[in-house]
Each structure stands twice: as C-alpha cells, then as structure tokens.
Structure 1
Amino acid sequence: MKFDLHTHHFRCGHADGTIEDYIVAAMNAGLQVIGISDHSPYFYHEQDQPSPGVAMARSDFSNYVNEVLRLKEKYEGKIEVLLGIESDYFPDYVEAYREAYKGIPFDYLIGSVHQVGGVSIFNRNRWKKLDEKGHINEKKSYYQLIEQSARAGMFDILGHIDAMKGYYPAFSDIPAHEHIDNALRTIGECGVSIEINTSGSTKDVGGWYPSDDILERALHFGVNVTFGSDAHVPSRVGDEWDLVAKRLKEIGFSQWVFYRKRQPVIVPL
C-alpha cells in the first residue's frame, strides 16, 4: 500500500495547485492513500494572515477543512483522502493551536519546528557569524524544540526532523548526538511518529530528511516512521516512495504507518 501524508496547495502561498490536483496526481502515481496537510494559519497572531507567502489565512481554515472533507467523499472508493495539517510548533502558543483544532475531524496532525529563536530554520544567514559553540547551541535548541513538540500531546507525526540542514548541509556535522538521542527517546516514549520527507532533494542538501544515521537511531528507540513527500507541486506526490521503502528495510525497519482518525495504521514494508 502506497501513501503520502505531506502535501501542500495554493492556500499556503508558496505551493502550486489545488487540493484536487494533488489527489489526482496521487492516483496517477499509484497511491492508495493521500493526505492533505497544508501549513496551519498563525493562530496566535492578531492578523488574519501575517505571512501570506508562508501560511494560510485563519479565515480560510474552515474552507480548507470543508474542501478536504468534500473531496474525501467525492473520491471514496477511488483513493482514500485524509484530512491533516502541518502545524507549526511554537512553545509559547501551544494552547492557541490546541484550541483551534478542537472538534475538527483530523486524521492526523504533523508538528513541525520551522523557527528557532524566531528565525526560520531555512535561513542561511543564521550560521555566518557563529563560532563552533554557537553552532552547537543552535542545533541543541532545535532538537530541544522537537523534543518539546513530542511531549505537547498534540501531534501524531513530527515533520522533517533534520530539515535545518536544507540550505546548510554542514548542519549534519555539528556534534549534537546527545540532544538528537534525547529527542528520539522522547518521541518513542510518547508514541509519536517521524516522517521520512523527500523534499530535501529540492534543497541544497539533496536527499531526504532525516539522515540514515538518525533513522538508525530512531529504530533503536522504537520510533515509528511514515512517509511524506512535502510536495509543493502535484508532480512530486509520492516522490521516491519506493526508494525510501527499500532503504528502510535495509536499515532494519519492518513496517511503517499512516493515520486514520488519529490512529496509526500499520503497513508492512
């Protein structure tokens, strides 16, 4: 069974295509399950859409949910459409997000750390004036936030847990094994999954998130894994699914999961 739980569309302001475009692309790619998971609004902010090129407007959130639910019905029997969202994790605003999600029939929530210290994880400039200790502290802060997001009790999946390397490949070489292990141990204990996200192939780093090294340690800590292309164009739906499945088996995984009604569905590898 082929599935992809991480896709975006025009509402976030930096992806192309409609939700239906991604569903059709999934069917054409031979998927049986497609998850829709556009970027959550900034629910804590006083403005409706403070970052139009980053996340959807709060006033458009109900339209997003209703459209996915409508398409879920339309395509029933052809492909399973799942309602998800990629939710920012801001520790100071957890309750604002928790309140916004109440009563919505999500199949899953992806929790992603997109900012550390108020700066995007994809900002190349953050690294330029830092010494070795500063590099280590940045990476430590990133994994501490990921660990906190696992403990928040909001998320089924944690998104792209080493994506800070996207435009700074040297990130992977910054020593922080203890902090990565602490995060993975917590993720395993909390029963949260991590995604193998193939969008790294569209960034400077190439490949996918997380690295094989982190996946090997995730297996050690009993962490479940799932798949997300993080497609921002329909043509990337399911991108490298077969390669990821093959690599996971080589690492030692025997299964992965997707989510339906907030419950994991086990898929043998």
Structure 2
Amino acid sequence: MILADMHNHTIISHGEATVAQMYEAARARGLSWYGFSEHSPLPPGYACPLYHGDLAEDFPRYIEEVSGLKDAASPRVLLGMELDWIPSRMPYMRELAARWPFDYVIGGLHFLGSLAVGSPKNWGRGESEEERRARFAAYYREMTRMVRSGLMNIAAHPDFIKVRCPESFHAWLDMPGSLELVREALRAMSECGVALEVSSAGLRKDFAEPYPAPAIMRMAAELGVSISFGSDAHSTADVAFAFERLAAYARSFGYSHSVAFQARQPFTLPF
C-alpha cells in the first residue's frame, strides 16, 4: 500500500473540493500522509483560465486551512505547493517558496517560455513533427535547470508534455539522443536529492499511462533516483487514484520505498 499522496489540489485553484473535503477523502482511503500541493500564484503576465478566482488573493486562505489540519493524527498533513517553473521570474519564485513554512515544494513545468505545454490550443494546430521534437528537447533541458535551481523537492509529472500528443512523444523517445536529454534531468534529480514524481494522473487520460513512461522509469531506477507518489487529485474521487496499479508499476522497476518531505527534509516510506 502506498502510504502518502503528495500531489493534490483544491477549489482554491481549479479543483472541485475544499481542503476539508479533500482531507476527508484521504482519511477514507486509509492514507498515512496527505500532502496538499496547491498551485502557486502566477506572476504578472501569466494566467490560467481554469482557475476559479484570484489565486494570489486566495492562496493565504489555503495556507491557513491546511495549517489548521497539521495536528490531525491520521492521515498526517503536509503543507506543500506546486510551483510553476518560470525561469524569467526567478526572484518571484524564490520569494514565493520562502514566504510560508512549506514541508515541500513540487516543481511544475507547465510553460516553455510563453507556451503552455498542456493547453490543447498549442497542439494539433499545424505544427510539424520537427517542431514537436524541438519542444520535447527544450522541455527536458528546462527540467534539468528546474531541478538544479534548489527550489524544488519533487519534480512533478515528469513527462507531462506528452498529455496532448502521446504518440509523437513516444516516437521522440525512440530517436537517437532523446533519452540522453531525459537522463540529464534524471541525473540532476539524483545529484540534487529531488524526487521523481510517479503519478497516476496519466491513468485518467485516454492514453492510460502513468507519468513517467516506462523508459523514463527504467533510467530513473538505474540512476538511483528517489520517487514520490502523487495522484494530482482535483476532486475527492481522484485522491490516491489507482494507487494499487501505481505501486505495482514502481515495483516492476525495482522500487520498494518512496519519499515524502517534512520541513523540506526527506523521509522514506515502504510500499
């Protein structure tokens, strides 16, 4: 059994349930640790049309509500944040990561420059396969920089860029040199103590594959990269989603422990 779900969202951003409702779902699933990791407020010039309200204004309420659950016994609550990696706004990101007493920070690579990599409007609108391959390469170069920034404890959904084009992504992985770019990002995780998120969110997509893909998991295991489990839940039904399948997936690559973080320090959990 996976004991900790480290990646979860609430109605504060674009989830469907409150902090209290998500916590009750975690209790019902029998988790020992539950990490809230709400999206970070975006800097000026960036926006997510999916957010319900003003995240910058509402985020302190999220901190207060999660902090109010810290004395709960089962599951134990961890305060986290999914920080959008925007390298042109380094001072903004550093200040945000230091503003509250986070147990951990997840690095979310959702933007390549001004390109929102998960947005359907940026895929299938006439770009060539060559352009897609260039995006994939840029994504892993940026992931390496993100991991080495020192801001993150966990690298979220490490092949999220496949979400709108899984066939193109897998074809790119098979091309000479592609896996070496991925390996550089994984090597950075190993050297910097950043955990690779193994996420069941991909199992809720049409391609029904976890994040990350098997080729990436295999390299991570070879390099000794630690893993962290997350559902990327946006509703109570998503909490600990398909964790039995996720545990079997990780075990198939030789993993038997995951990591969680408290006061930014890792601790291991068997599964």
With the length of structure 2 as denominator, give the TM-score of the two structures: 0.91
Instruction: Report the 3-state secondary structure (helix = DSSP H, G, I; strand = E; otherwise coil) of the residue aligned with 2:38.
Output: coil
Deviation of the 1:81 alpha carbon: 0.7
Instruction: Report the 3-state secondary structure (helix = DSSP H, G, I; strand = E; otherwise coil) of the residue aligned with 1:264.
Output: strand
Deviation of the 1:122 alpha carbon: 1.7
Amino acid across the alignment from 1:152: S
Matched residue, 2:81: 85
Deviation of the 1:126 alpha carbon: 3.4
| Matches of 1:240 and 1:258, distance apart in 2 | 19
Amino acid across the alignment from 1:194: L
Instruction: Report the 3-state secondary structure (helix = DSSP H, G, I; strand = E; otherwise coil) of the residue aligned with 2:266.
Output: strand
- Which segment is superposed worse, 247-256 or 186-195? 247-256
Matched residue, 1:17: 17
Matched residue, 1:102: 98
The yes-or-no answer on 1:6 pairing with 2:4 is no
5 Å matches for 1:129-140?
A: 129-140=126-137
Matched residue, 2:64: 66
Instruction: Give yes or no for contact 1:197–1:209 (8 Å, CA) kept in 2.
Output: yes
Matched residue, 1:179: 181
The yes-or-no answer on 1:114 pairing with 2:115 is no
Instruction: Report the 3-state secondary structure (helix = DSSP H, G, I; strand = E; otherwise coil) of the residue aligned with 1:257.
Output: strand
Matched residue, 2:44: 45
Deviation of the 1:46 alpha carbon: 6.9
Instruction: Report the 3-state secondary structure (helix = DSSP H, G, I; strand = E; otherwise coil) of the residue aligned with 1:231.
Output: coil
Matched residue, 1:255: 257
Instruction: Report the 3-state secondary structure (helix = DSSP H, G, I; strand = E; otherwise coil) of the residue aligned with 1:37.
Output: strand
Q: Highest relative contact order (Cα 8 Å, sep 6+), 1 or 2?
A: 2
Amino acid across the alignment from 2:9: H
| Matches of 1:57 and 1:21, distance apart in 2 | 19
Instruction: Give yes or no for contact 1:168–1:205 (8 Å, CA) kept in 2.
Output: no
| Matches of 1:36 and 1:18, distance apart in 2 | 11
Deviation of the 1:125 alpha carbon: 4.5
Alpha-carbon RMSD across the aligned residues, in angstroms, is 1.8
5 Å matches for 1:188-199?
A: 188-199=190-201
| Matches of 1:64 and 1:237, distance apart in 2 | 18
Instruction: Give yes or no for contact 1:72–1:80 (8 Å, CA) kept in 2.
Output: yes
Matched residue, 2:144: 147
Deviation of the 1:88 alpha carbon: 0.1
Matched residue, 1:27: 27
Q: Once the two structures are aligned, what percentage of the paired residues are identical?
A: 32
Deviation of the 1:3 alpha carbon: 1.0
| Matches of 2:221 and 2:270, distance apart in 1 | 15
1:156-194 superposed Cα distances (whole Å, 9 cap, x missing partner): 001001011112111122132121111111111111001
| Matches of 1:183 and 1:246, distance apart in 2 | 24
Residue 161 of structure 2: which of 157, 160, 164 is its match?
A: 164
| Matches of 2:252 and 2:262, distance apart in 1 | 27
Instruction: Give yes or no for contact 1:167–1:203 (8 Å, CA) kept in 2.
Output: no
The yes-or-no answer on 1:267 pairing with 2:247 is no
| Matches of 1:121 and 1:59, distance apart in 2 | 25
| Matches of 2:244 and 2:91, distance apart in 1 | 38
Would the alpha carbon gap of residues 237 and 193 (structure 1) be closer, same or farther in structure 2, given more than 3 Å must change?
A: same
Segments of 5+ residues of structure 2 without an aligned counterpart are none
| Matches of 1:251 and 1:228, distance apart in 2 | 17
| Matches of 2:98 and 2:138, distance apart in 1 | 29
Aligned pairs, how many? 263
5 Å matches for 1:218-257?
A: 218-257=220-259
Deviation of the 1:249 alpha carbon: 1.6
With the length of structure 1 as denominator, give the TM-score of the two structures: 0.92
Deviation of the 1:104 alpha carbon: 1.5
